[in-house]
Amino acid sequence: KTHFDVETIRKDFPILSREVNGKPLVYFDNAATSQTPQQVIDAIVDYYTRYNANIHRGVHTLSQEATDAYEQARIKIQEHFNAAKAHEIILTSGTTHAINLVASGFASLLKKNDEVIVSALEHHSNIVPWQMLCEKTGAKLKVIPMNNEGMLKMEEYEKLLSEKTKLVFVNHVSNALGTVNPVEEIIQKAHAVGAAVLLDGAQAAPHIKADVQKLDVDFYAVSAHKMCGPTGVGMLYGKEEWLKKLPPYQGGGEMIATVTFEKTTYADLPHKFEAGTPDICGGIAFGAALDYMNNIGFEKIAAYEHELLEYATQKLLEIDDLKIYGTSSDKTAVISFNIGEIHPYDIGTIIDKLGIAVRTGHHCAQPVMDFFKIPGTVRASFSFYNTKEEIDTFVEAVKKAKQMLS
């Protein structure tokens, strides 16, 4: 067993000491949004206290300081994901924005009857933008099916691939079940037929340090708010050659080289995709969040979270009629479950009264719920600042809810 000093880490997160409904908060909704350490809060306060200014255009000192800090954050993000170039990192408002940027750009690259491939295990934000793209272009959307364990059927994936396939988009980790998808193989096989690959890394990024060059992935999207950063900011990594090929997503200030009423030319990367004033403070705080997590270390984080996952899985399975969805051996710390016919919402409501935060519902992944023929699940998702004691409290609360509802 690894030694992980969770008590010291917890002191970095002021919110973890608050009470909810008179009980100590147990926060197990980390897959929706993670909590924010003091170091990141300080970066936000420091920005608005000392150097709040618009970037990339001012000659004055504040603007230069803000620009430097923002571009420094881009380099931290580049280094974290091991992108070859800083201008391959586009700062966005989050994963959703990043995926829409790529989907919108591909409208000019796809023809009728081209094919694009998604998986059965996706968040709506990696389904709907592509359906919109298919409507615009006449391209066809194919779906990699999954099995009862919540794993993609890779032999079916191979059958879907052909020279018609232009793009494959799957999540690195499923938000509904926690399954880690075999992305190396997905990428290799797509590239073998000449298709590009976008990975939705929203759920992977808090647990796995992805190396975009090693993966050889074409696009990678994440949200800062799932990895100790603020809401409203995220990134799209794109290989330079692809980002050059795609047209701009939005028009406006910052994204131009020259503007006349006859013709506008666009700025170089990354500014071509960063129209308007971005979330400057958010970008800087995203960099601070990466520093924070890297200081702890992703290997340590993953090992500790795995311990929490195993502990909670074992404890929960002692409850009669409790069924866990998603039983791949390669999972992040997410447990999606139901108990008998009890509605997940009712369990969530009762345990909230006991100070415990979990997510209930379809988790923006309705096709996954349809596959299991359920309206939704209770989803407990753990982070490296959670403890086994919290899991004990949670399991007792679930037992109590079950008693009240059966």
Q: Which residues are catalytic?
A: 364
Residue type, 30: N
Asked if residue 76 binds ligand PMP (CB under 6 A), the reply is no
Asked if residue 100 binds ligand PMP (CB under 6 A), the reply is no
How would you label 243-259 residue by residue, b for 16+ Cβ within 10 Å and e otherwise?
beebebbeeeebbbeee
Q: Quote the least distance from Cβ 24 to ligand PMP, whole Å.
A: 26
By CB under 6 A, the count of residues binding ligand PMP is 13
Asked if residue 165 binds ligand PMP (CB under 6 A), the reply is no
Residue in the block written with tokens 């990895």: 227
Contacts of 233 (CB under 8 A, 6+ apart): 91, 92, 93, 94, 223, 224, 225, 278, 279, 282, 283, 285, 286
- Closest to ligand PMP by CB, 152 or 401: 152
| Binding span for ligand PMP by CB under 6 A among 91-99, 259-267, 302-310, 332-340 | 91-99
Site string (343-372) toward ligand PMP, x via CB under 6 A = ---------------------x--------
The radius of gyration of the chain from alpha carbons, rounded to an integer in Å, stands at: 22
- Closest to ligand PMP by CB, 51 or 286: 286
Among 96, 165, 332, 383, binds ligand PMP (CB under 6 A): 96
Asked if residue 80 binds ligand PMP (CB under 6 A), the reply is no
Separation CA 15–CA 81 (nearest Å):
28
Asked if residue 94 binds ligand PMP (CB under 6 A), the reply is yes
Count of Cβ atoms closer than 10 Å to residue 393 Cβ: 18
**Which residues from 185-244 bind ligand PMP, rule CB under 6 A?**
200, 202-203, 223
Alpha-helical runs (H) found in 318-387: 344-353, 366-372
Taking the CA atoms of 372, 303, 351 and 225 in sequence, report the sign of the dihedral they define.
Answer: negative
Q: Quote the least distance from Cβ 169 to ligand PMP, whole Å.
A: 11
324 DSSP β-pair partners: 337
| Binding span for ligand PMP by CB under 6 A among 74-82, 93-101, 240-248, 286-294 | 93-101
Angle made by CA atoms 197, 202, 205, in degrees to the nearest 5: 95
Site string (307-346) toward ligand PMP, x via CB under 6 A = ----------------------------------------
| Binding span for ligand PMP by CB under 6 A among 47-55, 90-98, 312-320, 396-404 | 90-98
| Binding span for ligand PMP by CB under 6 A among 48-56, 121-129, 148-156, 283-291 | 121-129
Distance of CA 14 to the CA centre of its chain: 23
Separation CA 360–CA 372 (nearest Å):
15
Residue type, 170: V
**How many residues are there in the chain?**
406
196 DSSP β-pair partners: 167
Binding residues for ligand PMP, rule: CB under 6 A, are 94-96, 123, 125-126, 171, 175, 200, 202-203, 223, 364
